[in-house]
Structure formats: C-alpha cells, structure tokens
C-alpha cells in the first residue's frame, strides 16, 4: 500500500520560497513554532530532512538566522529564544522549565499553552527528547505512575498505526507526532523495532 500521493512532497526551491514568504508575512525571521503552527507550511521535520537544520535552510533562503541568549532564570542550563530560533535544550533544563510552568499554572500545561509561550520549549520538543509528553511529566512527578504491564504491539499493528495516522494527518507522521497522540506509541518503539521512524514508514509503504 503506497500513500505517497496523500501528502505533499516539496523540492528545495519550494521549501526556501515558503520560508521567504513566511518571513515577509511576519516581518521577521520565522521561528520553529511559526512553521509548525502554520498548516500551510511544511513541517520543521521536512526542513531538517532536506537541509540538515533550520539554520542551514534559513541561510540558503538568504534569511538571517535568529540569535539566542542564555537564560538566567534557569541557571544558564537552557538557551532561550531571543529573536526566535530552534534551540537545543538539556534534558535537565527541559524538566526544570516544565516543573516551573506547572507550578505557575497550578496544573500540567496543555500542548497549546506550551506552544504559545515564547519562553517555553514547544510540546514537540518534549515528545522528541523524552518519547512522549507524559513521560516528561512523570519524570518531574506531575503524573502518577501507572501500575501494570505496558502495551505490546506486533510489527503489523505498528505499521498499520502509521498508515492510519498518515491518512488522518494527510502526511507521514514525523518523530514529534509520535507520543503526542494517545493512540500512537512513542518514537522509541519504532526505533527499537525498525531502526527509526523513516525506516518504519518505508516498511509501511508510505515513503
């Protein structure tokens, strides 16, 4: 089963043009959050796949990559957004920021609250670094640990879930989609079983 026609394929020229259009629309260099939150834009994952990083894509599009500074609030563990760019966070810093955010709200932050807060990493950052947002919450004691055995999937079930999610999203699921949805296993499951999400997508006939 090949689902290639169910999502948009971009060439490098089109990807760069879309960055330039987004920059004119925002009147500033687009952030990762700007890209992922715009349904008309290719995902950040697409830019990483084609160019190796957002910074490289911005440079190739003749745009100025965003600058960043160290955050004093988190004892210099984290690099925070200044003009807005993709920042590499330490796991310790991510957990500290999540704990502080939950403390401010008096509850666990939602996906929208993380994505709309310019001082917080995106929801997908937690999914990517910890396998799922729930696992990140558990590490700072925000979710009770469930007792019992974990769910085990067959290879066929895992591949079928990728096909179904591709139909639902209209594109192949990226690493940040895995663990984001309650009906999808974490990305580590696909890494362990197939050697990575891309290999699993190929095995499922999606790529």
Question: What mean pLDDT value characterizes the chain?
Answer: 75
pLDDT of residue 151: 53
Closest CA to 63 of 54, 76, 52, 72: 54
Taking residues 160-167, report their average pLDDT: 88
Q: Hey, CA dihedral for 110, 185, 142, 117, is it positive or negative?
A: negative
- Cα separation, 63 vs 18, in Å, equals 12
Instruction: State yes or no: pLDDT of 66 exceeds 80.
Output: no
Read off the pLDDT band of 17 (50, 70, 90): very high
| Length of the chain in terms of residues written | 207
pTM: 0.38
Taking residues 167-172, report their average pLDDT: 86
Chain Cα centroid distance, residue 12: 21
Decide: 98 and 126 in contact? Cβ < 8 Å: yes
Higher pLDDT, 86 or 158: 158
Residue 164 makes CB contacts below 8 A (sequence gap 6+) with none
pLDDT of residue 76: 33
Instruction: State yes or no: pLDDT of 107 exceeds 60.
Output: yes
Taking residues 92-116, report their average pLDDT: 82
**Token pair of 58 as six digits:** 């911005």
Read off the pLDDT band of 16 (50, 70, 90): very high
Going from the C-alpha of 67 to that of each of 85, 117, 201, the distances in angstroms are 7, 18, 34
Q: Annotate 92-124 with DSSP letters as a single string.
A: HHHHHHHHHHHHHHTSPPPHHHHHH-TTS--HH
- Cα separation, 158 vs 186, in Å, equals 11
Taking residues 138-165, report their average pLDDT: 72
Instruction: State yes or no: pLDDT of 120 exceeds 50.
Output: yes
Taking residues 8-18, report their average pLDDT: 85
Instruction: State yes or no: pLDDT of 24 exceeds 80.
Output: yes
| Partners of 69 in beta bridges | 80
Closest CA to 9 of 35, 43, 32, 38: 43
Question: Which tens digits make up the pLDDT trace of 173-200?
Answer: 887 777 666 567 777 778 878 888 889 9
pLDDT of residue 181: 66
Read off the pLDDT band of 20 (50, 70, 90): very high
């Amino acid at each position: 089963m090949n689902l290639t026609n169910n999502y948009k394929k971009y060439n490098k020229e089109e990807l760069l043009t879309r960055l330039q259009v987004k920059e004119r629309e925002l009147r500033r260099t687009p952030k990762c959050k700007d890209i992922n939150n715009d349904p008309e834009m290719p995902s950040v994952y697409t830019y990483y796949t084609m160019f190796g990083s957002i910074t490289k894509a911005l440079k190739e599009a003749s745009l100025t990559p965003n600058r960043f500074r160290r955050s004093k609030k988190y004892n210099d563990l984290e690099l925070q957004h200044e003009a807005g760019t993709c920042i590499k966070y330490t796991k310790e810093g991510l957990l500290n920021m999540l704990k502080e955010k939950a403390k401010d709200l008096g509850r666990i932050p939602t996906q929208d609250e993380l994505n709309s807060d310019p001082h917080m990493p995106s929801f997908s950052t937690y999914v990517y670094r910890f396998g799922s947002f729930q696992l990140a919450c558990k590490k700072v004691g925000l979710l009770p640990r469930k007792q019992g055995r974990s769910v085990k999937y067959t290879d066929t079930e895992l591949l079928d879930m990728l096909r179904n999610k591709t139909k639902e999203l209209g594109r192949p699921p990226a690493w940040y989609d895995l663990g984001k949805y309650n009906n999808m296993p974490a990305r580590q499951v696909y890494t362990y079983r197939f050697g990575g999400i891309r290999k699993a997508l190929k095995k499922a006939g999606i790529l």
